[in-house]
Amino acid sequence: MEVGALRRIAFIGIGNMGWPMAARLVEAGFQVVACDVAPERATRFANEIGGEAAGDAAAAVRGADAVITILPTSKHVGRAIEAMGDALAPGALLIEMSSGVPTATRGFSEALAARGVAMIDAPVSGGVPRARTGELAIMLGGDAAAVQRAEPVLRAMGTTLTHVGGIGAGQAMKALNNLMGAAGFLIGVEALLIGQRFGLDPAQMVDVLNASTGMNNSTQKKFKQFVLSRRFDAGFGLELMAKDVSVALEVAHDTGTPVPFAALCREMWASAVNLLGPGMDHTAMAQFSERLAGEALGGGNRAS
Ligand code: NAD
């Protein structure tokens, strides 16, 4: 199939999102070179899905037309760029798909431009399910020509591509999207807890909300599936959501925007990371509100 000028793609970060996204690229006919700091993930990807595995970032990017990064934070991206070193050759395009910090991304972009490497930011929304089906929403920041160059690659992973501004603008948009998701989740859990205390059935409440104006992404896709079921395994980490809300607050600070409601939301998510411990799914945030209420949702059991 015709895949445009970018054929060989170094894919850095074979995590919850990176794995299904890289799999879409393999399926679309791109030559994918997988790489992860946990090298066994890249090897397993090459064995199970296809493409090649590289032992380190320098080996992955050598000879690549484009490099995709989808790593936890901008700090990880900085480390990965450092590890690529001179193997990242002039003329290559770096597509940074992490939910990163816009100012950090601008800094990377300037340093890379001086070496003849173009960069765009292209963070995603839709989670693991839409990464699997190639139906992600992709928010693009950067120079129009570079964005256009990346499009054939991005079309294999997403259905809604929106160029929202210069470098870092995609990540600002993504952080604000997740601020709304984080706030909607929290207020929804609180509403369910109040309702349960009143005598309403939380599962029935979710049905009513989904037919009413209180509906949001959490009522539709999270509360029954991951909270009331007590599964807490949506595939998006609690630390990552807390990080996204912090990035939104950084953007608020940089732009001098007073946002007391968002600040409270950030404090709650950041507190939950400490209270609930590492490695939790973001839907486990419900347990934070449950602990405050002294009661769990669903069966009326006391929260652990
Ligand atoms: P994850 O923790 O599952 O995966 C990250 C991967 O990066 C891991 O496999 C880790 O070993 C690897 N890694 C870390 N540092 C590295 C380095 N220097 N070089 C190579 N590999 C490195 O995280 P995820 O859920 O896939 O999220 C990745 C990014 O996508 C985050 O910025 C997150 O906020 C964003 N995001 C996640 C979701 C989701 O639903 N999971 C949805 C939208 C956006």
List the chain domain ranges: 8-167, 172-293
- Judge whether residue 2 has pLDDT over 60: no
Per-residue confidence band for 91, with pLDDT thresholds at 50, 70 and 90:
very high
CATH 1.10.1240.10 fits 172-293, yes or no: no
Q: SS3 sequence, 198-233?
A: HCCCHHHHHHHHHCCCCCCHHHHHCHHHHHHCCCCC
Q: What gap in Å lies between CA 76 and CA 191, rounded to an integer?
A: 36
Question: Residue 1 above 50 pLDDT?
Answer: no
Flag whether pLDDT at 303 surpasses 90: no
Ligand 1 pocket residue status of 70, Cβ below 6 Å: yes
pLDDT band for position 299 (50/70/90)? low
Q: Which residues are catalytic?
A: 174
CA of residue 71 to ligand 1 center, whole Å: 4
pTM (2 d.p.): 0.96
Distance 241 CA to ligand 1 centre (A): 12
**Contact, 75 vs 15, CB < 8 A?**
no
* Residue among 17, 157, 280 to mutate when testing ligand 1 (max atoms within 8 A of CB): 17
Q: Would you say the CB of residue 7 lies under 6 angstroms from ligand 1?
A: no
pLDDT tens sequence across 114-134? 999 999 999 999 999 999 999
Atom of ligand 1 nearest to the CA of 73: 32
Q: Is the CB of 54 under 6 A from ligand 1?
A: no
How far apart CA 233 and CA 190 sit, in angstroms, is 20
Task: Please say whether the beta carbons of 236 and 282 come within 8 A.
Answer: yes
**Chain centroid to CA 291: how far?**
27
pLDDT of residue 50: 98
Q: Considering the chain, what is the average pLDDT of its residues?
A: 96
Q: Could you report the per-residue pLDDT of 42-87, keeping only the tens digit for each?
A: 999 999 999 999 999 999 999 999 999 999 999 999 999 999 999 9
Q: Is 89 in the pocket of ligand 1 (CB under 6 A)?
A: no
At residue 301 the predicted structure's pLDDT band, cuts being 50, 70 and 90, is very low
Q: Are strands 136-141 and 124-125 parallel, antiparallel or unpaired?
A: antiparallel
8-167 homologous superfamily: NAD(P)-binding Rossmann-like Domain (3.40.50.720)
